[in-house]
Amino acid sequence: MKIEIDKKSGFCFGVQNAVEIAEKALLRGEKVFSLGPIVHNDKEVERLSSLGLVSINHEQFRQLKNCKVLIRAHGEPPETYRTADENNISIIEATCPIVKKLHSRISETWERIKKDNGQIVIFGKPGHAEVVGLLGQTNNEGILISKSTDTDKIDFTRPVALFSQTTMEIKEFNYIKELIYNKMKERGTIDPDNYFQVNNTVCGQVSNRGPHLMAFARDHDTVIFVSGKESSNGRMLFSVCKSVNPDTHFVSSSEEIDKSWFAGKSSVGICGATSTPKWLIENIRDFVANI
């Protein structure tokens, strides 16, 4: 049976960067807290916990003083940094550089557009850690849209600047963009060509994996998709694989693998989310190879 690992699967740059920053601090013997799980993958969180990384929530964070706290790749709102200053907490900055740049763009646009009675609209998932950080750049006055009906929150007679959470689907973003444009056009109060600013801030590293994985899934009889159950990116990419190869199976560890999946199969593809560590994908490959 042929077994192939998808070469592009595994951590995206932002997650890899955050994990490496955490490892360096831990290997120096420092006590480090992570504000939220550093990555949406239980196995990787367990590995880093064994090195001494302690995951905390925001309530616990507000009780800490005189310590070091890592900001994960998702980023945080300005309020988190103010709390750190007040409590003498040293921040270990591991926000994805792409997300960090997006924070600056939203903040600068917000300062400018509110002078013209404009609105910041963010296409993203409610409650997602990255979205919390993005909305924080607008003093939480931005409008969050996660589906087409949410566009009813927008005042189409006022200027609009549209941004996206970095891990959203590009097709969905374009659909929302067209919807807002057409509704502004219908109202006829202001010209969307002049008062609708579109910022495509979907991360190319993430959005390009969908088409790549479709081709990868088609090339194999069976596909094992490796991801943490809490990863929204994992659920999305799994559904992409499943759409072209119904014999695609979602697992978080080798314990979830059913040997019957490989009966009569000659080709197995193993792939994963942007939050799945390469070592875990390789462990799954080794397990399958020994069946």
Q: Which residues contact 261 (CB under 8 A, 6 or more apart)?
A: 222, 224, 247, 249
DSSP result, 226-254? E--TT-HHHHHHHHHHHHH-SSEEEESSG
Q: Which two three-digit tokens encode residue 6?
A: 């998808």
- Pairing assessment for the beta strands 267-272 and 2-5 based on DSSP bridges: parallel
128 in helix, strand or coil?
A: coil
The catalytic site residues sit at 130
Contacts made by residues 144-153, CB under 8 angstroms, sequence distance 24+: 145/121, 145/176, 148/175, 148/176, 148/179, 151/176, 151/179, 151/180, 151/183
